[in-house]
Amino acid sequence: MVVYRDGLPIDYTDAGAGDITLFFVHGAAIDKLYWQEQINHFSAHYRVIAIDLPGHGQSGNDRQEWTIEAFAADVNAVIQELNLSKVILIGHSMGSDVILEASALNPAAILGLVVVDALKHAGTEMPEEVMQQVNSIHQNLQADFGNTVESYAKQGLLTHDTDIGIVDMVTNDYRTAYPPMVIGSLTSIFSFAARERELLEQLRWKLYLINVDYIPTDESLLSKHANAGYELFVLHGTCHFPMLELPVELNQALEKVFYKIVNPEKFEGLSVERFLNS
């Protein structure tokens, strides 16, 4: 299924039915198929939308500028075209910033937000030495795109303990991603900290995070910036892609978080970790 924004086709999956819509937004260089286990599981009880952001999957790539703000507008275009309400936005990796921005564009349609393995250093500016590395990566992407993105994925998103099948899938998807999108969006991703802080501070919903412990989450930053509150649940895994590595555990966590978002009055004062382990 396709929605158009500024003439660009945005492909999406629409499965299931229900009063509540779960809207899944993938991270950079991958696509909506990473959510297939979640689509299969949750479409029995919810309407489930999973989008291919432009430059990814089956969506169009005829765009000159690649930014978080543009991706958020794409998400909002689908919400508006389908006349969705009571939407829970779920964002993975870069998709976490996309859903923060999208929720600010159309707050009346949103019930809540769930972040999957992201915002581990929420609102933090990159140190100068890291930005120098980013600049180097940017140059390397233009000179040798495939090897550069594969190296980035293996060093930052995967570990030596990650199943080889997941490693092969992720690195292949990164190598075959649309180069102008990856190169163009890099600046937006790594310069988004100030806007991320602003969005977290203005957020009207409690933020739910389901993060993997291969890299820990700095909760002090969430406490500082997420003014509406946050709750964190930690999965034990080896990589950035729990939907691939831990689909059952992720589905169980998401199921109970969704229930808590829809029924906040039933769980006042009960942390999501206690709830999920009860």
Helix (H) or strand (E) holding 4: strand 2-5
The distance in angstroms from the start CA to the end CA of the chain is 39
Q: Are 69 and 211 in contact (CB under 8 A)?
A: no
How far lies 95's CA from each of 61, 123, 163, 188, 278, in Å?
A: 17, 15, 24, 13, 29
Report pLDDT for 16: 98
State the 10-residue block means of pLDDT for the chain, 278 residues long. Answer: 97 97 98 98 98 98 96 98 98 98 98 98 84 82 95 95 98 97 91 96 97 97 97 97 98 96 76 53
DSSP 163-190: -HHHHHHHHHHHHTS-HHHHHHHHHHHH
Per DSSP, the three-state class of 212 is: strand
Which class is 2-125+192-276 in CATH?
alpha beta
